[in-house]
Amino acid sequence: MILEVNNLSMKFDTKTVFQDLNFKLEAGSMTALLGPNGTGKTTLIKILMGMLKPTGGSFKFDKNVRLGYVPQFRNIDAEYPLSIRAFIGLNAHLFKTKKVREQIDHQLAETHLSQIQNTRMGEASGGQKQRAYLAQALLDHPNMIILDEATASLDPAAKEELMGLIKHLNQEHKITVLFVTHDIPLAKKYMTDYLYLNKGTIRQGKMSEFKEDFE
Amino acid sequence: MFQYEFMRYAFLASTFIAITCGVVGVYVVARNYAFLAHTLSEIGFAGAAFAVFIGIAPLWGMLLFTLLGSIGVGELSLHSDQKESSISAISALFIGLGVLFLAISGSNSRYATNILFGSIIGVDKQGVIQLVVLSILVLLLIILVARSLNFDSFDHIGAVAHGVHTGWVGIAFLVSLAMSVAIGAQIVGSLLVFILLTLPSSTARYIGKTIPAMIGWSVFFALFGVWAGLYLGFITNWPVTFFIATIEVVIYLVAYTLHVIKHR
């Protein structure tokens, strides 16, 4: 067990986002967090990341968990000056010793960005940017990674590349994956389990048995 | 030129100020604080006028006002929906106050000119020491929070996601910015201090692809402008501020044009 959520509830003022959520995630699992837009998927993630306080209930990560988190939106415009390498390095030690440089090299290779590491982030494609966000999070050596709508704005080829990468991280490095999306076909192709958040409640099961169609 | 003591002092003080503004400027531009820097310089003008009014050195009045102003304006710009309007209102209020302080202190218009447009040639030994010490303090503060400041300034959302204490970093940076405005205003004046805080670093963004590279280029352009400005001011007797402003603008326009041509 890497995460256990008990009776988790969240309200903004009088509006209940969700009530009494209960679920558990196994270490090494690959779970899609599904649900229509506006059901509180990002809110749930922010609570798990400690960025929001729930109004009720609790959750517990395994004591050995090291979380990596790739948020949904970033402020990277076309004029953004840092290279892909420098962007990833924001999450590394200030002084780029040989060891730090090697860690960055490793994550660049892992996310297939070595060739274009000196391209400016502002000029990178959507898929390259997403892989850079992932590489930046991987510098923390996480054993669980949470991705929020990472494929939302990507073209089909870039989606496949990113998902292939995530699958590789799960299979080769045993990283637990929690993947927020509303793309059901993609989730069916790559994820093994699902959490379905809708109308304030949550359901859990095997992705292959997922029936709901909310789109 | 260096046989004159006032030129030696001017160069020494300007060098430290240019380095400080060059470094801080990289974060000013990355955080989209150019407008805030401009507002702080107007608040600084009021502070300097206040200092003249109560009879202390303008630098201290400026420092006091910019430090208080940076926290106030920073809070406003973070929490107000009408960020630009509220900052404009504050600017207007402080310029008005500055005019009032100058008027009631009965000082002559030369004082106002010095505050608004700078008076580096007039800096004495004590002034140089103060400016150098303040510059070093700003740089130390930046180095102290550098890793978090880099992350927060260049990837705010990522920094929050990685648990960086962005609130504290923001305050530390506003303090550095306030101090930079106060000391930068001593060379180019409060009206044009935002030049040193925005133009060299904006130019550097077109060239550097890493933060150290951007800082290097930004400091280089700031130093070049300030040194050349002092030299040209010395040989022509025209205002140093005019030369610094012109040089920085020309460098920026060249870099911008090259960037546009390259990306067309």
Q: Please write down the long-range contacts of B86-89, taking CB distance under 8 Å and 24 or more positions apart.
A: B87/B35, B87/B36, B87/B39, B88/B39
Residue ending a domain, choose from A141, A163, A190: A141
Express each pLDDT in A107-132 by its tens digit.
999 999 999 999 999 999 999 999 99
- What pLDDT does A75 receive? 84
Could you tell me the two tokens for A129?
């940017």
Chain centroid to Cα B41, Å, comes to: 8
Query: Do the domain assignments include residue A71?
Result: no
Asked whether the beta carbons of residue B162 and residue A133 sit closer than 8 angstroms, the reply is no
A159 and A188 both lie in a single domain: yes
> Domains in chain A: how many in total?
2
User: CA B199, CA B223: separation in Å to the nearest integer?
Assistant: 12
- By DSSP bridging, strand A3-12 and strand A56-61 are antiparallel
Residues A47 and A11 in one domain: yes
Enumerate residues 6+ apart whose C-beta is below 8 A from B10: B120, B121, B123, B230
Instruction: Choose the final residue of a domain: A98, A125, A141.
Output: A141
Count Cβ atoms below 10 Å from residue A189 Cβ, excluding itself. Answer: 13
Q: Is the pLDDT of residue A215 over 60?
A: no
Same domain, A119 and A172: no
Task: Output the DSSP codes for A61-78.
Answer: E-TT--EEEE-S-----T
Distance between CA atoms of residues B149 and B142, nearest Å = 8
pLDDT at B25: 96
B262, with CB counted inside 10 A (0-12, 13-18, 19+), is exposed
CATH number for position A34: 3.40.50.300
From B263, which residue of chain A is nearest by alpha-carbon distance?
A: A123
The pTM of the full predicted model, rounded to 2 decimals, is: 0.90
A53 and A91 inside one domain = no
Measured between beta carbons, which residues in chain B are less than 8 angstroms from residue A69? 161-162
Complex ipTM, two decimals? 0.88
Q: Which domain holds residue A126?
A: 76-141
Give the pLDDT confidence score for residue A47 in this predicted structure.
93
The verdict on A127 and A165 lying in the same domain is no
Tell me how many residue pairs between chain A and chain B have CB atoms under 8 A apart: 59
Residue A202 lies in a domain: yes
**Residue in A42, A47, A82 to test binding to B, most B beta-carbons within 10 Å:** A82
Beta-carbon neighbour count of residue A166 at 10 Å?
22
Q: Average pLDDT in the B216-225 region?
A: 96
Contact B209 A82 (CB under 8 A): yes
Q: What is the mean pLDDT of chain B?
A: 88
Judging contacts by C-beta atoms under 8 Å, the chain A residues touching residue B148 are: none
d(CA B153, CA B170): 9
Domain match, A151 and A176 both = yes
Interface of B with A (CB under 8 A): 146-147, 150-151, 154-163, 205-206, 208-211, 214
Q: How far apart are alpha carbons B30 and A175 in whole angstroms? A: 34
Residue A11 lies in a domain: yes
Residues A111 and A153 in one domain: no
Any idea which residue has 């205002």 for tokens? B239
From the list B147, B161, B214, the residue facing A69 with the nearest CB is: B161
Q: Among candidates A142, A132, A72, which has minimal Cα distance to A107?
A: A132
pLDDT digit string (tens) for A1-60?
899 999 999 988 888 889 899 999 999 999 999 988 888 898 999 999 988 899 999 999
* Strands A201-206, A56-61: pairing kind: unpaired
